[in-house]
Amino acid sequence: MQQAIVGFHLDDEGYFVADLACGHTQHVRHDPPWQNRPWVLTEQGRKEKLGVMLECKKCDQNTIYFVYESDEL
């Protein structure tokens, strides 16, 4: 499920995490060559990504759970 980025914070290891509108979070690491996100390293880069939609896997998992749960009723 697509959710907007509403903010960022650092985790305990110093990696940036996107705060999503749904209340979930998602790491947005810059770790070349696997993940190339140089924008996350600057405040301006992060500000430019506010409002951008990310796929929230936790919301997708909750949706699947609720569909499964309702099928059993």
Residue 47 sits at φ, ψ, to 5 deg, of -60, -40
pTM of the model: 0.79
Full residue range of the structural domain in which residue 43 is found: 2-71
Split into its structural domains, the chain has a count of 1
The answer to whether residue 21 scores a pLDDT higher than 50 is yes
Pairing, β 25-27 against β 16-20: antiparallel
Return d(Cα 8, Cα 47) in angstroms, integer.
9
Q: Please write the tens of the pLDDT for every residue from 22-48.
A: 999 999 998 888 889 999 999 999 999
Does residue 63 register a pLDDT over 70?
A: no
Q: Which residue has the higher pLDDT, 32 or 72?
A: 32
Confidence of residue 70 (pLDDT cuts 50, 70, 90): very low
